[in-house]
A = this chain, B = another copy of it.
Amino acid sequence: MFQGEFSNNMDDKGRVSIPAAFRDTLKTHHADERIVITRSPHSRYLTAYPMREWKRLQARIAATPPSPQLRAFKRIVISSAQEYIPDRQGRVLVAPSMREYADMDRAIQFAGAGETFEIWAKASWDKQLENDLVLAQGFELGL
């Protein structure tokens, strides 16, 4: 389970450290440090999948009947997918097109999302959170 939020800085070369807590989850729960990072279709941020989850998503896509929506989804998600193994310092190099998509410059926000985790430009994250506070109003889940 990926949970918690962390903010790290991207350096001039476009590298960001994956939070140690997440790397730990990968090692202990997945025994596989490989992650796949893609564009999120929901908004301007990136989603990181442990390899196992990525395979699961691929399978689900393959089992879905073709449609214009699916093709759009694939173009956003699959085409942007890139596999990474963090370097010895635990960093990955985010490609320019991805940085652009997610408006990333320096301050990066990581947010655990259960089986995956999200990577945001900090500014976008803050804004999203504002919205979510309103959206979640009155949404009771038995609390």
Which residues between 35 and 58 of chain A lie within 8 Å of chain B, taking CB atoms?
41, 47, 57
User: For the complex formed by this chain, how many copies does it contain in all?
Assistant: 2
Determine the chain B residues whose CB is within 8 A of the CB of A71 once the complex forms: 132
Determine the chain B residues whose CB is within 8 A of the CB of A31 once the complex forms: none
Contact A135 B72 (CB under 8 A): yes
Contact B79 A112 (CB under 8 A): yes
Given A141-B64, A142-B60, verify A136-B73 contact (CB < 8 Å).
Answer: yes
Task: Kindly state the separation between the CA atoms of A114 and B80 in the bound complex, as whole angstroms.
Answer: 11
Contact B76 A41 (CB under 8 A): no
Cβ-neighbour of A135 out of B3, B64, B68, B111 (below 8 A): B68
Task: Kindly state the separation between the CA atoms of A133 and B97 in the bound complex, as whole angstroms.
Answer: 15
Contact B41 A139 (CB under 8 A): yes
Which residue on B lies nearest to A141, using beta carbons?
B60
Q: Can you name 23 A-B residue pairings with CB atoms under 8 Å?
A: A3-B82, A4-B80, A4-B95, A5-B97, A41-B136, A57-B143, A60-B141, A60-B142, A68-B135, A69-B135, A69-B136, A69-B139, A72-B131, A73-B136, A73-B139, A75-B111, A75-B128, A76-B133, A78-B112, A78-B113, A79-B111, A79-B113, A115-B143
Task: Give the 4 A-B CB pairs with smallest separation, nearest first.
Answer: A72-B132, A72-B135, A79-B111, A72-B136
